[in-house]
A and B are shown apart, each in its own frame.
Chain A
Amino acid sequence: MKKCMLVIMVIVMTFCISLVALAGSEKETSGTAKEAAPVASDEPCVDEWVFSNLMFMTGGWAPYGEMIVWGMNEAIDEINAAGGIRGVPVRAEVYDTGTHQPELAVTQMAKVLDTKPLLIMGPHGSTDAEACSQLAYDEGVYMLQSTSSYDVAKKFRPWANVWLTNTEQFAKTTGQKWIEREPDIKSVVMFVQPEASTWYEQSKHQSNGLKAVGVKVLEEIAVTEAVDFSPLAVRALSHKPDGFVMYCYPEAMVKIVLELQKRGVKENRRFLFFHGAGTPEFWALGKGYLDGAYQWSIFNSQAKSQKWQKLADKFREDFDGEPNWTVPTDYDSMYLIKKCFEDLKITGCRDKLKEERVKIQKYMNNVDSFEFATMNIKIVDGEYKAPAFLYTIKGDKLENPINCGFEWK
């Protein structure tokens, strides 16, 4: 009994001491002054730029998070090898927001804000972004959400941006391009996993786009995590559709395709996958079964830039698979931050924190032209402008990209 009490007392005391320590330590990271020797007015005040990245590193979305962080670390290595940002080395701290854990996302965001950041990378998942973006918005800290959701980021403008173009436009256009290529498809069934608003919003817009060109959407079947997807396949086939559109986890997409193939769907051109496909898991499970199917994506896997070729080769080496849309997202974010800090001569001095945060926000919301790893992009009044692509799967790779792009004029 006494031992037990002692253990509890030790636990409680340790916790209280840690809490007090937490309360008293406002860890200063990106761009906060360390009261160093006086420097010229536009010289950096920091010994190291530390960028906080709120990322889903656990739960269902963790595989995506791992690849995004991998891309970011590659950019950091390259930037540091080339002398850092304004001569100061760069480092990133990744804060796990989990998958669909709003309480964790909010707490992690609060932790990041205590570090007095100049800007924040993430939050990345749409559910996390929905939960915790308000905090950064209230504090006036810019968020490079890169993968969250166009519609979520839009709600937090001018303090948030995402590397997704107007969902309504690209989801419509990519679906319509598919129909243009396969004009005999007159009706479809959509498989939608109500996992996150970003998937839902994309599927809704695509559904509207298909309807606009005379395609009947016979049913939107809700997909939940399951071992056996045959009931969903049977249900879809009962409508006798000409095509199938998928907005669900990569594993679910492949398993549904296999169930449909078992039941007589022989032509893969009848399948359209959304850009969440194309993960290593997707290719591994679907190896040899997906040739001829379509996938739309926001990234150009066929880009010829040296930057991309190098990054893609490194990815193949490390992951033994083809890179997908997640890989260049925070790689590009890091280079954009570099350009922003260099153009604005950001110092990271504490007395200029508010002023520099506003400068960064204004800069990031209007980028005239910037070379991302895979394509040239533009940001106009906080809206990211870049094309989306429709691919055909051939030899377990994305081939023949069709540019479903937008006019910038």
Chain B
Amino acid sequence: MFRNNYDNDSVTFSPQGRIFQVEYAQEAVKQGSVVVGVVSKTHAVLAAIKRNAEELSSYQKKVIAIDSHYGIALAGLASDARVLSNFMKQQSLASRLTYGRAIALSEITARIADRAQTNTQQYGRRPYGVGLLVAGVDAKGPHLFEFQPSGVTQEMVACGIGARSQMARTYLERHLESFENSSREELVKHALRALKESLSQDKELTVENTSIGVSGVDENFALYEGQDIAEWLDATFENREGGGDDEGGDSMETDS
């Protein structure tokens, strides 16, 4: 069960200079379903695969709107993400109320990073078991930030985290040059294609299991799910046969 003597808490270094609890937390991120983020000069897009725990249950929430100018996509423990997103909502609202200013994405990312870092340096705490992509538009234009349980944050042009996300990242790396000047629609397509790459052979993107969040310059962050994304799916995967027809009647109608 235990790998060694140095993984009982997040305040102890191993002799190799590693903090195992933080690394385990990063494993939790890898087990979450994949989420992808891309930015152009004008837009920031998040796309995610939703999972349902069982046939009868609803799908897990993967993309959360935080403020009118940005949202997050999560991979890992959803409950940790909920705590973080509540904190982000509070901080964003506080900025709007006290200064009448939309909080900068770099600022809100730094604030959750500080919280995550504290968890890696205090006894009796555990790191967040969730990775986030923070995407939106602030006074300095569109941004995408990656947040990890270790408290590391980075600004990205495109990013994918979660299960099998390496395939998505490979797609994004191959098309890196085309993102900057992409239109809104093209950017959504890139995000969906990257998402598709990381799916196992027998899985498809459907209106049920896909979430898309879009924000742009002079355009509020909006979450698209269900029938609202049917057209995007059709346009992105034209040659596919009857998009997800094994999933039920809903997606059949979208092909007509």
Do A and B interact?
Answer: no
Contacts from A to B (Cβ < 8 Å): none
Contacts from B to A (Cβ < 8 Å): none
